[in-house]
Amino acid sequence: MLKVFAVIGMVATGCLAAGMGKVLVGSRWPDAPAKISEARAAVAEPDRVSDREELMRGIMWIRATLPRKVDDHTTLVAVGLEGKTYWSRMVLDTDAGDISDSAKAAVVREVTEDVCRRSGLRTAMHGNTISVYHVDYVDRRRTPIQSIEITKNDCR
């Protein structure tokens, strides 16, 4: 996450520098449009990255911090991007047989609310960088418990 903020800071600094260059050149030589274009070329903006590249960088940062405790009973063990599907795998500190259908339904509601609340995921879905958020839950023995898929249509 720090890298994402660093990139945002670099972009903001570059934009401010470009804007100041325009102001200074425009106020000093208002009748010289060629000078303004030269100033724009002289002010170097940092490399811009696509939304997908920014997402990939975030995934790499998360992977470097795995496994990560999400709560007292849940651990995030893997994340990735396949095509336009952003996926994650969670391990629950329980046995698959101990989880009721009502508990599974509650998890679906909570995960959907959480994904829809996160502005980064909402933006990525509505911007068509990703089309699906897919999460797999397994128990401590890696027995599948449930899979959840969330699309932008689930976030109202």
pLDDT, mean of residues 108-132: 88
Q: What is the pLDDT of residue 31?
A: 46
pLDDT of residue 23: 36
For 133, the 3-state DSSP assignment is strand
Quote the number of domains for the chain. 2
143 within a domain of the structure (yes/no): yes
> Can you give the CATH number for the domain in which 76 is found?
3.30.300.250
Residue 79's contacts (CB-CB under 8 Å, 6 or more residues apart) are 59, 62, 63, 66, 86, 87, 88, 89
- The per-residue pLDDT for 67 is 95
Give the closest residue to 26 by CA, choosing from 14, 15, 38, 35.
Answer: 35
Its pTM stands at 0.65
Question: Do 24 and 81 belong to one domain?
Answer: no
Is 60 contained in some domain?
A: no
Residues in a beta bridge with 78: 89
Residues 84 and 142 in one domain: yes
**Cβ proximity of 3 and 61 under 8 Å:** yes
Tens digits of residue pLDDT in 32-89: 444 444 444 545 455 677 888 888 888 999 999 999 999 999 999 999 999 999 999 9
Which residue segment(s) compose the domain that 72 sits in? 65-154
Q: Does residue 59 belong to any structural domain of this protein?
A: no
| Token pair for 134 | 């897919």
pLDDT of residue 45: 53
Q: Is residue 50 part of a domain?
A: no
Q: Inform me whether the pLDDT recorded for 6 exceeds 80.
A: no
* Statement to judge: residues 32 and 79 lie in one domain: no
Biggest CA–CA distance in the chain, Å, is: 77
- Reply yes or no on whether the pLDDT at 151 is more than 50: yes
Are 136 and 89 contacting, i.e. CB atoms less than 8 angstroms apart?
A: yes
Instruction: Note the Cα 130 to chain centre separation in Å.
Output: 10
Position 16 pLDDT exceeds 50: no
Do 33 and 74 have their domain in common?
no
Question: Is there a domain that residue 57 lies in?
Answer: no
Q: Could you identify the residue written with the tokens 């899979």?
A: 147
Residue 53 lies inside a defined structural domain of this protein = no
In a domain? residue 11: yes
Distance CA 137, CA 67 (A): 14
Q: Specify the range with the lowest mean pLDDT, choosing from 5-9, 98-102, 134-138.
A: 5-9
